[in-house]
Amino acid sequence: MSAPAALQVTRADVCCVAAAEAWRGDGEIFASPMGVIPTIGARLARATFEPDLLLSDGEATFVTGTWAVGTPPVGAAEAGIAYRTVFDIAWAGKRHVMMGPVQIDRYGNANISAIGDFFRPTRQLLGVRGAPGNTVNHPTSYWLPRHTRRSFVAAVDVVCGVGYDRAAAAGPSARRFLELRRVVTNLAVLDFATPDHRMRLASVHPGVTVEEVVENTGFELVVEGEVPETPVPVEEKLRLIRVLDPHGARFREVPA
């Protein structure tokens, strides 16, 4: 009997594992992913190295188990989560959200609201929503499936998610709990682990060069020495990703 064929690793798989790593070390905290790959990442994290993560059914319940994206939860209910409770959790710093901005700058200011002049925008998007409260109250990460100069800009058109420079200017209440954990894109992983909290290139995905990331970024990235390669998922995680996303929804965000 022949051995089963090895699973092929795709760029989307690498992004799922990179997204999962955002929640490493969080423990019992409300993981709030937005988008397919962040959702796979959060569920992958709980299934492998962060078993205490709290995952919502998308409505009003924390649930156990591992279930595929786009399908109802199959696990048991752990607790109810009323609408007002979400705010209590957020203000207490017990939530880690991964949002998807359309623009982000070198200090992590993020835009999900509009493109162009604030009073006459060329594109109206979601609005500011909960982004300011997220960023100043609990850990926040970002997922951008298209790493381009249109998304990585010198200055965002509307500040929704608060970055390190804006928080510093606003005072202690804004900067006290600010923690922008990581930025995952289809090309790389970035963070703000620099003395002045400017965006740093933490790793490049397999097949991507540092030069390619720099060329697709509209501001100067901090690049320190030899940039490592983003880890490739091992066989166990690859199989879990296929359980979590059996129909390949992740490829709509990062084409195979």
Residues 6+ apart with CB under 8 A from 8: none
| pLDDT value for 49 | 97
| pLDDT value for 84 | 87
Structure tokens at 156: 């965002």
Calpha distance 115→130 (Å, rounded): 18
Please state, for a pLDDT cut of 70, what percent of the chain lies above it. 98
Cβ–Cβ < 8 Å for 139, 179? yes
1 found inside a domain: no
| pLDDT value for 83 | 85
Examine the pLDDT at 3 and tell me if it is beyond 70.
no
DSSP string, 123-162: EE-S-STTHHHHHHHS-EEEEESS-STTTB-SS-SS--B-
| pLDDT value for 27 | 95
Cβ–Cβ < 8 Å for 109, 168? no
Q: Summarize the confidence of residues 100-120 as an average pLDDT.
A: 95
Residues forming beta bridges with residue 184, ordered by sequence position: 143, 189
5 found inside a domain: no
Structure tokens at 13: 């798989």
Cβ–Cβ < 8 Å for 208, 231? no
Question: What CATH number is given to the structural domain containing 187?
Answer: 3.40.1080.10
Residues 6+ apart with CB under 8 A from 82: 60
Q: Which residue has the higher pLDDT, 254 or 58?
A: 254
Calpha distance 216→211 (Å, rounded): 9
Kindly report, residue by residue over 40-54, the tens digit of the pLDDT: 999 999 999 999 999
Examine the pLDDT at 5 and tell me if it is beyond 60.
no
4 found inside a domain: no
254 found inside a domain: no
Kindly report, residue by residue over 146-205, the tens digit of the pLDDT: 999 999 999 999 999 999 999 999 999 899 999 999 999 999 999 999 999 999 999 999
220 found inside a domain: yes
Structural domain of residue 159, as residue ranges?
A: 11-247
3 found inside a domain: no
| pLDDT value for 75 | 81
Residues forming beta bridges with residue 80, ordered by sequence position: 61
pTM: 0.94
6 found inside a domain: no
Kindly report, residue by residue over 44-97, the tens digit of the pLDDT: 999 999 999 999 988 889 999 889 999 988 888 888 888 889 889 998 999 999
| pLDDT value for 127 | 86
Query: What value does the mean pLDDT of the chain take?
Result: 94
Examine the pLDDT at 119 and tell me if it is beyond 70.
yes
Domain total in the chain: 1
Q: Summarize the confidence of residues 23-50 as an average pLDDT.
A: 97
Q: Which residue has the higher pLDDT, 122 or 7?
A: 122
253 found inside a domain: no
Examine the pLDDT at 227 and tell me if it is beyond 70.
yes
